[in-house]
Amino acid sequence: MTTDWSNREFPKTLCLFDVDGTLTPARGVITKDMQQTLADLRKKCVVGFVGGSDFVKQEEQLGNDVLQTFDYCFSENGLTAFRSGEALASDSFLQFMGEER
C-alpha cells in the first residue's frame, strides 16, 4: 500500500502523539480546540496517534471519525494499527504474550 501525502508542505514528516495526557485529558475526550489544531497540522504533515488502550477506547476519546481525521492510528502500543483508514497487520497483546505469561 502506498499513500500519497505530496499535497502537504512536509509530506515526509510524521507528527505522532500520545493519546492520554497529550491529545486528551487522561481517559477523557478530545476538545474542539485540539481537533482544530490537529486538522490544521494535518494540512502540513502526516499526523498520527499512539496509546496503550484498545482502539474502541481511543475511538471514544478521539471521536468516531478517528480513521478519517488521523493518517496513522496505533492502539495497544502499536499491536493494532491503521494507515489512511486501512487496517495493517494486527495482534492483541494477550495473543502476542499468551495468557500463561
Q: Residue 99 has what pLDDT?
A: 61
Q: 18 an active-site residue? A: yes
Q: What distance in Å separates the CA atoms of residue 58 and residue 75, rounded to the nearest whole number? A: 8
Q: Residue 89 has what pLDDT?
A: 79
* Residue 33 identity (one-letter amino acid): D
CB under 8 Å to 5, separation ≥6 — which residues? 11, 45, 46, 71
Exactly one of 18, 54, 65, 91 is catalytic; name it: 18
Q: Residue 78 has what pLDDT?
A: 86
Confidence check: pLDDT of 90 > 80: no
Q: Residue 35 has what pLDDT?
A: 97
pLDDT tens, 26-65? 999 999 999 999 999 999 999 999 999 999 999 999 999 9
Give the global pTM: 0.85
Taking residues 5-30, report their average pLDDT.
96
CB under 8 Å to 43, separation ≥6 — which residues? 8, 9
Instruction: Please say whether the dihedral angle defined by the alpha carbons of residues 50, 55, 60 and 62, taken in this order, is positive or negative.
Output: positive
- Confidence class of residue 79 from pLDDT cuts 50, 70 and 90? confident
Q: What distance in Å separates the CA atoms of residue 71 and residue 62, rounded to the nearest whole number? A: 13
